[in-house]
Amino acid sequence: MCRLQGFDAGLIKFNFLTGRIKRMAKQKESLVVVSKVKAYIKSKKMMTSSEALGAINDALYGMLDAAAVRAKANRRSTIKAQDI
């Protein structure tokens, strides 16, 4: 947002023009080592876009969330390889 239109206070944005408060999604911590991912992709003679790393991180969060659900369904508190 432009400084004249509103302000950004962490997870809350306020727009002076509309008078609305918008809660923003909390940023997820990166679970991937960017340099290692880029090196692997470069070894395949490909390039990495800026959006690719975010998508990889989101996919990893999804995979881990699904594994946690599967482990809980099997009455376990430990995620095993079979859950992934």
pTM of the model: 0.65
pLDDT of residue 50: 82
pLDDT of residue 6: 45
CB 84 within 8 A of CB 67: yes
What would the mean pLDDT of 7-22 be, rounded to a whole number?
58
What would the mean pLDDT of 36-61 be, rounded to a whole number?
93
Q: Which of 22, 18, 19 is nearest to 8 (CA)?
A: 22
CB 41 within 8 A of CB 48: yes
Would you say residue 5 has pLDDT above 50?
Answer: no
